[in-house]
Structure 1
Amino acid sequence: MYSKGSAGRAYGAASYARVGLESDVLSASPHRLIVLLFEGADTAIGTALVHMKDGNLAEKGRAISKALDIVNNGLLAALDREQGGQLAEQMAALYDYIARQLLKANLHDDCAALLEARRLLADLASAWKAIEPGLQSA
């Protein structure tokens, strides 16, 4: 029924990881969902860096596209510009800059632009994690 070879084990591990992620997403708070988006973007950028180093342009492009999708359709789309006011507008401008860095990295094989996008997202993720509800002392 299941393959016993290494490809079968890899497929099984990938399926298990996917189910774990899906379960995490389905049970996550809104705060945790944003953390997952930051983690996904970081993973995609890390994958892009590996493919860029290896000269695998197609896979590099796919990984950067995934990171762009997370930034534009996840993080940027999650901003509440009405309630967030000026802070939300500044975050939107930062996400726009990050997206442009990702595009630059993809178009010009610019490792520095990719690393800049990753660093900015990591800084934002760190700040976001620090404000996790329930972690503040009463």
Structure 2
Amino acid sequence: MYKSKGIQAYRKDSIKSDLASADPHRVIQLLMQGALEKLALGKGCIERRDWEGKSHALTRAVEIINALRDALDRDVNPELVDNLESLYEYMTVRITEASVSKDTTVLDHVMGLILQIKGAWDQITPADKQAAYGQTEARVGAV
């Protein structure tokens, strides 16, 4: 028990320091990873019949997905943003349904969707990130 709390505290501090020094691209990666971890935890809680743990984990997963939705920048690519907003909304509805029905296959489906988005996000090159940051700075400077 003591070791587990120590590991959790270290991990939480590690994530906080990673976030503090992260660029926006890395923050999105960390959010996606966090959503995947909470979904996996929720799935495990369902399998163990830990209803309180399930509720906490899946609520947190929905909160993270909502943070991803809030981070979307409509000015960059409105059509893509519309599609991602719809997909994130679909995910939150499905997570809620899975929580009520205790259906882990639905959670597997949502995790698969996040993995697809994360896979594409992870392939963004440093040059692509710099170009995007340049576009953002140009838009901010023009205001």
Q: TM-score, normalised by structure 2?
A: 0.85
SS at match of 1:101: helix
Is the contact between residue 31 and residue 132 of structure 1 (CA under 8 Å) also seen in structure 2? Answer: no
- In the alignment, structure 2 segments of 5+ residues that lack a partner are 130-143
Q: Distance in 2 between matches of 1:63 and 1:132?
A: 32
Percent of aligned pairs with the same amino acid:
28
**Superposition map of 1:4-19 within 5 A:** 7-19=1-13
Q: Report the CA distance between 1:10 and its aligned residue.
A: 2.3
Give the structure 2 partner of residue 25 of structure 1: 19
Give the structure 2 partner of residue 130 of structure 1: 123
**Superposition map of 1:46-65 within 5 A:** 46-65=40-59
Q: Distance in 1 between matches of 2:6 and 2:128?
A: 35
1:66-98 Cα shifts (integer Å, max 9, x gaps): 1000001x1100001233211100110011111
Q: Report the CA distance between 1:113 and its aligned residue.
A: 1.2
The verdict on how the C-alpha distance between 1:52 and 1:132 changes in structure 2, with shifts beyond 3 A counting, is farther
* 1:104 corresponds to 2:97: yes
1:16-62 Cα shifts (integer Å, max 9, x gaps): 11111110000001000000000000000010111000111111111
Q: Distance in 1 between matches of 2:91 and 2:123?
A: 21
Deviating more after overlay: 75-84 vs 17-26: 75-84
Give the structure 2 partner of residue 70 of structure 1: 64
Aligned AA for 1:117?
V
* 1:35 corresponds to 2:29: yes
SS at match of 2:75: helix
